[in-house]
Structure 1
Amino acid sequence: MSINNWEHLRGHIDNERFLRLVEHAVNHYSPSYAEESVIQVFTRALEQGQVPFRLQPVDGEPGCETERFNIIVELGPQPPTLLWIGHMDTVAMVGDDEYGAEWDGDVLYGLGTADMKGGCAAAVEALCALVASGVPLVSGLCVALVVGEEEYGDGAAELMRELSAPVAVIGEPTGLVPCTSHYGYLECMLTAKGTKAHAALPEVGKNAIHAMLSWMLRILDRVAELPNAQDVAVNPREIRGGQKLFAVPDQCESLLDIHLPPGADKEPILKLIDEARQAAETTHPGCECSSEELYWAKGYASPQDYSRLAPLMAAFSRADVPFYPTAFRSHSDGNLLFERNVIPVVCGPGRLEVAHTRNEHVHRQELIDAVRLYAALFYEFCVAPGEMG
């Protein structure tokens, strides 16, 4: 009975329909706070697959007039045993970046192919196959396509006000490697203020950019002193200062991204930043430096008890995908879910190394494997328990 049900479900997967959906989604540019067009792409695919869904309103940023929604699918008896989450938004394009889908052999290129419209489309296709198969669910399933993840996760935060589950799978790009541990993420704004003067007389002014560079270099040089320094990633994401005027710059700002290993606290790096600030002010008298913590999400380690993940491991076996857990090195909605006593597992098609780049891509076979894996997850968590005994 179990094998027949699984094969029946698997037989309703339409890979060509799925790949068309991935292309269609990638061809709709949807940066955070402007996701409306891709929401329509996925709701239309669900309607065509006769998958019931509802839209959950999510407030936009101040001044944003675009209506924003999470797409929520709830099947079987609720509340859910399994929650699958993917985000529909992408990072914004910069300069002459291109976002459209383009095949080069068996590789699909385009903004969002890996992060993470490929994963969202895979979950939608798995849902369509599940509904079309008519296989009965004995446990609840919820699939949520959310907005705003590439900023500060307002879509996931809104979702979690209403829904939860013992286990959640997040379709971020991992090459289908299950990530049961997660890095922490700290975002800081550094500011240096000086005194403006004519560019020909730098000794009269106080150069804020010089102070910022000194501060930043001290931070980067001292990262090796941190606990588990080899696993700490410090990235100066953005730096801006001065004006086009022929003058000594009196202000400079820098955004600093910091990824810390699972379970690490932020205090050591914050102390390092402050000590480097004091040193920069000493070597640049007259300049004032300050830092502001914009965002913090603590990482988490693998669960000691894998019993709640038994269906997940069974799904990997059923889908013939290796199960070798590791840590997810970026930020995702997993941090928020873990705070809500959910066991999150990050696993999706594509590679983190190419996400947010002009070379973003995903392989055709990995996309197809993702559909099979997600269908197996839905089966093991929500169908198979009714076939035991």
Structure 2
Amino acid sequence: MESVASRIETAVARLGPEFLEFLAESVRCQSVTGHEEPVTEFYERELRALGWEVRSLPLAGSALCADEPRVGQRANVVAYRSGAGDGLTVLNGHVDVVPPGDPSEWRESPFSGHVRDGRLYGRGSVDMKGGIAAAVLALAALEDCGAEPLRDIRLELVIGEEKTGVGTRLMVEAESEAPSAVIVMEPSGGHIVPLSAGLQFFTVEVSGMAAHTSAPWRGVDAFEKLLAARDRLRRLAAARSDSYSHELFEDVPTGIPFAIGKIAAGDYPASIPAFATMSGRMGLRPGEDPEGLRAAISAALESLAEDDDWFRDHPAAVKWGNAGLRGWETPREHELVQSLVRAQEHVVGAATIAAFTAGSDAAFYGGRGIPTAIFGPGDVALAHAPDESIAVADVFTAAKVLAIALAGAA
């Protein structure tokens, strides 16, 4: 008799061409953050056509909508599937994408959904419509071959991840039943990710005193002061990295990276800058309270006055770009992780476990102590880049692993 796992693999292969077009069409639905409705309408329509219970969860009316754009046009799409036993597994994926940038840097239209040499191209193919397609294909394959998931399934297709995470925060606020386990389909390269660092975004502002550049000694260069502030934060980050290690982060210099992504100073080439600002991020250890990191950053900036009299009367100011995404870890012996491990071993012969240094919506579940894992197809290094693309075979492989894990068939 054919095993359940073999029946699932056969179903994925049979349904694959249909869901390749599903993925291509979702990529063609331009859904830059804040303008997600083309793809949410597509997903809602397609999931209803599969006969699933589907609802739209609007952003309007939530306390979370205060600083969000176009509130009345934006909504999550939520689908439900019954399982064989008690408990609830959440499959979470974000529908929004970052802007494509300069179209001339792409070989073809950024939203083409075109398949070439076994890869599907377009903004969002990796991050993360490929993962969503894998999850929907996995659930469709279970239904097609008569297999049931072990638990009820809630498929959350959420808005706003690329900026504020408002879609998943809305799910946490709106749904009364806490999940037993969560799988977030971010592109993990097919690795099973039970560990993720968190992060704190920040902006630092410093002031100087303007002067003509022919006599710079008459002014105070705010850019130089900003570099001093950056160095102080860099030293803080280095000390934090030295004090934290984890075997899953052994292949990277640090599991809690610090980086400055944006910097600006002055407003005229012939003037010494009177102001300067930088924005960046500092990593949080799994389980670390963001408030403690914010206090450490503030203290590091206050310490500038110990070495520079200017900062005594003109202290650096810091603003927080988010409330802090918590880091999290699910024990590798937990059944969520082990079900993915067994399924991956069955499908590809070996399981690979890794860790994330990037923030994601997984923090809103894992940071609350809910067993969480990240698993999805695609190379995250290709996300947000020109010619973003995903290997079609990787989408199908991820669908097999997800379906077998959800059914407990390995």
With the shorter chain as reference, the TM-score category is 0.7 to 0.9
2:112 matched to 1:85?
Answer: no
1:174 alignment counterpart: 188
Shift in alpha-carbon separation, 1:359–1:223, aligned structure 2, 3 A: farther
Is there any run of 5+ residues in structure 2 with no aligned partner, and where?
A: 246-252
1:25 alignment counterpart: 26
Shift in alpha-carbon separation, 1:197–1:93, aligned structure 2, 3 A: farther
Aligned with residue 331 of structure 1, among 350, 355, 359: 359
8 Å CA contact 2:199–2:359 kept in 1: the answer is yes
8 Å CA contact 2:29–2:39 kept in 1: the answer is yes
Shift in alpha-carbon separation, 1:107–1:125, aligned structure 2, 3 A: same
1:371 alignment counterpart: 399
State how far apart, in whole Å, the 2-side matches of 1:80 and 1:74 are.
13
Aligned with residue 261 of structure 2, among 221, 226, 237: 237
8 Å CA contact 2:94–2:158 kept in 1: the answer is yes
State how far apart, in whole Å, the 2-side matches of 1:119 and 1:171 are.
5
AA partner of residue 70 (structure 1): N
8 Å CA contact 2:34–2:69 kept in 1: the answer is no
8 Å CA contact 1:281–1:287 kept in 2: the answer is no
8 Å CA contact 1:281–1:289 kept in 2: the answer is no
Shift in alpha-carbon separation, 1:258–1:319, aligned structure 2, 3 A: same
8 Å CA contact 2:337–2:373 kept in 1: the answer is no
1:224 alignment counterpart: 238
2:282 alignment counterpart: 258
Range moving further from structure 2, 120-129 or 67-76: 120-129
Aligned to 1:40, the other structure's residue is in SS state helix
1:134-173 paired onto structure 2 within 5 Å: 134-136=146-148, 139-161=151-173, 162=175, 163-173=177-187
8 Å CA contact 1:188–1:294 kept in 2: the answer is yes
AA partner of residue 75 (structure 1): R
| CA deviation profile, 1:325-372 (whole Å, cap 9, x unmatched) | 222221112211023331000010012223222253322211110121
| CA deviation profile, 1:277-313 (whole Å, cap 9, x unmatched) | 5337844727541222333122123427524544434
2:248 alignment counterpart: none
Is there any run of 5+ residues in structure 1 with no aligned partner, and where?
A: none
8 Å CA contact 1:83–1:167 kept in 2: the answer is yes
| CA deviation profile, 1:166-216 (whole Å, cap 9, x unmatched) | 111110111111111111111111111223333434333322222112321
What's the offset of the Cα at 1:141? 1.3
Aligned with residue 129 of structure 1, among 114, 122, 141: 141
What's the offset of the Cα at 1:316? 2.8
2:17 alignment counterpart: 16
Aligned to 1:211, the other structure's residue is in SS state helix
8 Å CA contact 1:83–1:164 kept in 2: the answer is no
**Number of residue pairs matched?**
381
State how far apart, in whole Å, the 1-side matches of 2:377 and 2:160 are.
20
State how far apart, in whole Å, the 2-side matches of 1:102 and 1:277 are.
53
2:376 alignment counterpart: 348
Aligned to 1:248, the other structure's residue is in SS state coil
| CA deviation profile, 1:12-51 (whole Å, cap 9, x unmatched) | 4311122222222222322222111111222232233333
Percent identity, aligned pairs only, is 22
Range moving further from structure 2, 256-265 or 68-77: 256-265
State how far apart, in whole Å, the 2-side matches of 1:142 and 1:305 are.
24
State how far apart, in whole Å, the 1-side matches of 2:225 and 2:78 are.
49
8 Å CA contact 1:25–1:117 kept in 2: the answer is yes
State how far apart, in whole Å, the 1-side matches of 2:210 and 2:181 are.
55
| CA deviation profile, 1:93-113 (whole Å, cap 9, x unmatched) | 444565323444223333212
Aligned to 2:216, the other structure's residue is in SS state coil
2:201 matched to 1:183?
Answer: no
State how far apart, in whole Å, the 1-side matches of 2:334 and 2:18 are.
35
2:209 matched to 1:208?
Answer: no
Range moving further from structure 2, 20-29 or 232-241: 20-29
1:116 alignment counterpart: 128
2:55 matched to 1:48?
Answer: no
8 Å CA contact 1:108–1:364 kept in 2: the answer is yes
Range moving further from structure 2, 148-157 or 332-341: 332-341
8 Å CA contact 1:354–1:361 kept in 2: the answer is yes
| CA deviation profile, 1:62-112 (whole Å, cap 9, x unmatched) | 452551111111111697531111111122344456532344422333321
8 Å CA contact 2:142–2:149 kept in 1: the answer is no
Shift in alpha-carbon separation, 1:340–1:275, aligned structure 2, 3 A: closer
AA partner of residue 16 (structure 2): N
State how far apart, in whole Å, the 2-side matches of 1:206 and 1:375 are.
62
8 Å CA contact 2:379–2:390 kept in 1: the answer is yes
